[in-house]
């Protein structure tokens, strides 16, 4: 009888572990889906269509879907256009590291983030790629800082 009770306890524990794992997987799936939706929204903004009302955007996307269904080669055209735009954008970005002598105001930190830089807590510096270096320099003009531009090494 003891053996049957031990088996029941072990099975119950295994069941609980499986439930926990299932919950972890559901959370992970939700995070992946949320990230994907955020990226799609970012593409709308990147294409400078974020000002359009939702009905207009949805209609435009339905029109794109219709065009794709009517002509499958249009997907290749869209892929080439998108790749060219991403490549051009990447060429315009400048890798920088920004060190500040004093902690900047919330407004300055927000502006630094807007320019695409991220905070490295360990090194206590900002880093990232900037497309408008002059604008960033203007924000930093009254702040003691060191702005290092990282030259990319060409692949040979």
Percent over 70 (pLDDT), the chain? 96
Cα 15 to chain center, whole Å? Answer: 36
Please state the domain extents for the chain. 2-51, 93-150
121 Rama sector, left if φ>0, alpha if ψ -120 to 50, beta otherwise: alpha
For the stretch 113-150, pLDDT in tens is 999 899 999 999 999 999 888 999 998 988 899 999 98
Residue 41 confidence class, pLDDT cut points 50, 70, 90 = very high
Residue 56 confidence class, pLDDT cut points 50, 70, 90 = very high
Backbone Cα Rg of the chain: 25
Give the pLDDT confidence score for residue 92 in this predicted structure. 84
CATH of 93-150, one of 3.10.20.740, 3.40.50.720, 2.30.30.90, 3.30.70.2380: 3.30.70.2380
């Amino acid at each position: 009888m003891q053996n049957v009770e031990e088996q029941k306890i072990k099975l119950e524990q295994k069941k609980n572990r499986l439930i926990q794992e299932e919950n972890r997987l559901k959370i992970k799936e939700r995070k992946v889906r949320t990230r994907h939706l955020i990226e799609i929204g970012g593409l709308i903004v990147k294409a400078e269509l974020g000002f359009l009302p939702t009905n207009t955007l949805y209609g435009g996307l339905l029109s794109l879907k219709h065009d794709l269904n009517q002509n499958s080669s249009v997907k290749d055209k869209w892929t080439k256009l998108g790749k060219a735009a991403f490549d051009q954008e990447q060429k315009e970005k400048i890798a920088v590291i920004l060190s500040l002598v004093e902690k900047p105001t919330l407004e300055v930190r927000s502006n630094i983030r807007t320019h695409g830089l991220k905070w490295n807590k360990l090194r206590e510096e900002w880093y990232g790629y900037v497309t408008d270096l002059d604008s960033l320099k203007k924000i930093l003009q009254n702040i003691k800082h060191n702005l290092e531009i990282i030259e990319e090494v060409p692949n040979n």
